[in-house]
Amino acid sequence: MILECFIFTVITFLVTETQCQATEVFAEEGSGAVLPCKTNSLSLIPAAIVWSKANKGTVWRKQKSGLQYWGASWLKSGSEGTRVRCPHSQFERGDYSLQINRVTEEDGGVYSCSVELDNRVVEEVVILRIIKVTVSPSVPIWGQDVSVTCDVTPWPYGLSVQWILNNSPFESQGQIISDRDVTKSVVRQKATARLTGNWSCAVSIRGKMGRASATVSVKGIIQPSDDNTKVYAAVGSSVVLPCVFSTGLIPSSPVWDKLKPGSHFNPAPGLLPRSFSPVSPLSQFAWDRSASLKEVAFDNEGRYRCSGIVQGQRQTRTMQLVVAKIESNILSKKKGSLMLTCQLSDTSEVTDYEWVRVTYDPNGTQSFETIQKGNKLSISVSEEIQGEWTCRFYGRGGILGNVTHHIQLMSGLSGQKSTRSSYNTAAVVGLSFLLVVLLLILAQMYKNHQRRKRILQYPALETIVHSISNEREEKERSRIKK
Ligand SMILES: *[C@@H]1O[C@H](CO)[C@@H](O)[C@H](O)[C@H]1NC(C)=O
Ligand SMILES: *[C@@H]1O[C@H](CO)[C@@H](O)[C@H](O)[C@H]1NC(C)=O
Ligand SMILES: *[C@@H]1O[C@H](CO)[C@@H](O)[C@H](O)[C@H]1NC(C)=O
């Protein structure tokens, strides 16, 4: 009966479900496999055991006398002897399972176990399926086509395959490709950082599960991992523009560009800002090509691109520098009120603003006091306002950055003064104008007075002058009459 079942299984295992109960065993290539063969009856009498593989003959057998034999193909491996064994210690418990170490694809197939006890023969059929995950190319460069393949040898009809990347199911499932007698599941993707990690192929059939995994590490620019990543910086601060290649991957001809605005598809490099430095104070390794801006100005905002050549392929990464500043305005309507406005060169990722007042106790310990939400803050200059006023801005994933406005004691007072001085100046100007006018009037009056005095000294002269003028007037009148 066992022989029939065995032959039947060998013939049909690729085509249909086997009729007799063959045990499914999955093993990842390179790992160990245990092919179960158990009897219910315990026996102290040594049994004759035969493990054989379909089309390959005997794997291992033991005679009642205790002599062991290995199949020729299982004896090859060198000093360690053989990869298969059937531990005696388990025999007493009726366990005649076969252990195979470091399984290979060739080990996949149908095995049978035959145990001769007293006058009974116990038979088992086991199908060993080897799972293997391969990545091609083994170290993909960013942007290359990469394929992750799951091979199961032999591949059973109706096998379900699930791809798992870093412990979560991979969204776009692999395709199952059947090509004549080779069946496999393949995931094809453009290599990005997202593909980096532990890829597992979880297979199951008739309640039995197996799994194999492989690590994918995509080489290229690993930080930032995506194009158009936003980097936030406050005006006047220094900022690092990250551009880190995979560890040990040293790019040739690294270049930084600032891209002209509006050129999304075919970016034209523009001029780099003056405070730009192609090295970052933090970078220590040749694969860290991060750059820095020593002192960010508001118009330094925009898109930057770093690139370098790796294995003949240019790797590029773009990022956007978003600059934050605080505008401070004295409100003319509300006297003595200062309006702080938090401004960002790009607010597309910003969901929330928060104003925080930073104060220092005599020990120099910072303390934060949240004042309000929103990008505008109105503070009364009559209060004690010196210190740091920080605007924190948040995105969906949490804080994006902050920008601080310093109102120092001196500038605070002068700020107060300047608000007042603007009114004072007007008054002073007005007053001085009045004073000047008054002085001018006085001067004129004095002049007139002096002249009169002089004229009175010569009364005769005055009469003459007077009569002359009278004469002229009469002449005029007579002319009009004519
Ligand atoms: C990958 O994940 C599997 C299980 O999810 C684990 O057994 C294996 O050790 C992991 N491999 C690596 C290289 O992390
Ligand atoms: C400053 O430090 C001293 C000792 O370290 C402590 O006793 C004191 O309370 C601190 N003052 C403040 C305002 O935190
Ligand atoms: C602003 O950001 C800097 C750097 O991340 C941080 O050290 C500082 O505490 C922040 N200030 C506030 C008020 O959140």
Q: How far apart are CA 329 and CA 326, in angstroms?
A: 10
CA of 397 relative to ligand 3 center, distance in Å: 17
Question: What are the tens digits of pLDDT across the range 31-66?
Answer: 999 999 988 877 677 789 999 999 889 999 999 888
363 CB under 6 A from ligand 2? yes
Poorest-confidence range of 21-30, 312-321, 334-343?
334-343
Ligand lying nearest the CA atom of residue 391 = 3
Poorest-confidence range of 197-201, 249-253, 393-397?
249-253
Residue type, 37: C
361 CB under 6 A from ligand 2? yes
CA of 402 relative to ligand 3 center, distance in Å: 6
390 CB under 6 A from ligand 3? yes
Q: Whose CA is nearest to atom 8 of ligand 3?
A: 402
Question: Of the candidates 424, 390, 427, 426, which has an alpha carbon nearest to the alpha carbon of residue 407?
Answer: 390
Q: Whose CA is nearest to atom 5 of ligand 2?
A: 363
Average of pLDDT values for 421-449?
A: 64
Ligand lying nearest the CA atom of residue 367 = 3
CA of 196 relative to ligand 1 center, distance in Å: 13
pLDDT at 98 over 60: yes
What confidence tier does 335 reach under pLDDT thresholds 50, 70, 90? low
Asked whether the beta carbons of 300 and 237 are under 8 A apart, the reply is: no
Residue 349: what pLDDT?
A: 94
- Which of 200, 209, 215 maximizes ligand 1 atoms within 8 Å of its Cβ, making it the mutation to test the pocket? 200
Give the percent of the chain with pLDDT over 90. 43
Question: Of the candidates 203, 197, 199, 196, which has an alpha carbon nearest to the alpha carbon of residue 213?
Answer: 199
Atom of ligand 3 nearest to the CA of 401: 2
391 CB under 6 A from ligand 3? no
pLDDT at 18 over 50: no
Residue 425: what pLDDT?
A: 39
Residue 421: what pLDDT?
A: 31
Angle between helices 459-481 and 409-457 (to 10 degrees): 90
Residue 130: what pLDDT?
A: 96
Question: What are the tens digits of pLDDT across the range 238-281?
Answer: 999 999 998 888 898 899 999 888 766 666 777 899 999 988 88
367 CB under 6 A from ligand 2? no
CA of 355 relative to ligand 3 center, distance in Å: 12
Asked whether the beta carbons of 133 and 212 are under 8 A apart, the reply is: yes
Q: How far apart are CA 95 and CA 117, in angstroms?
A: 12
pLDDT at 8 over 80: no
What confidence tier does 229 reach under pLDDT thresholds 50, 70, 90? very high
Ligand lying nearest the CA atom of residue 216 = 1
Q: How far apart are CA 151 and CA 139, in angstroms?
A: 19
Poorest-confidence range of 315-319, 381-385, 447-451?
381-385
Residue 102: what pLDDT?
A: 92
* More confident: 422 or 6: 6
Atom of ligand 1 nearest to the CA of 164: 5
Residue 205: what pLDDT?
A: 92
Average of pLDDT values for 173-202?
A: 86
- Which of 353, 402, 405 maximizes ligand 3 atoms within 8 Å of its Cβ, making it the mutation to test the pocket? 402
Can you tell me whether residue 352 is helix, strand or coil?
Answer: strand
Q: Which residue has the tokens 């979880």?
A: 202
Tally of CB atoms within 10 A around 274: 10
pLDDT at 15 over 50: no
CA of 209 relative to ligand 1 center, distance in Å: 16
Ligand 1 first shell, C-beta below 6 A:
167, 198, 200, 213, 215
Give the percent of the chain with pLDDT over 70. 79
Residue 345: what pLDDT?
A: 95
What's the gap between Cα 279 and its chain centre? 21
- Which of 359, 360, 361, 363 maximizes ligand 2 atoms within 8 Å of its Cβ, making it the mutation to test the pocket? 363
Average of pLDDT values for 377-399?
A: 86
CA of 195 relative to ligand 1 center, distance in Å: 15
CA of 390 relative to ligand 3 center, distance in Å: 8
Element (H, E) at 126: strand 120-136
What confidence tier does 454 reach under pLDDT thresholds 50, 70, 90? low
Q: How far apart are CA 308 and CA 314, in angstroms?
A: 6
Asked whether the beta carbons of 302 and 259 are under 8 A apart, the reply is: yes
Average pLDDT along the chain: 82
Question: What are the tens digits of pLDDT across the range 100-135?
Answer: 999 999 999 999 999 998 778 889 999 999 999 999
Residue 107: what pLDDT?
A: 94
Asked whether the beta carbons of 77 and 149 are under 8 A apart, the reply is: no
CA of 198 relative to ligand 1 center, distance in Å: 6
* More confident: 438 or 103: 103
Asked whether the beta carbons of 408 and 395 are under 8 A apart, the reply is: no
Average of pLDDT values for 24-29?
A: 96
pLDDT at 25 over 80: yes
* More confident: 3 or 148: 148
Atom of ligand 3 nearest to the CA of 402: 1
Q: Is the pTM of this model over 0.75?
A: no
Average of pLDDT values for 187-210?
A: 91
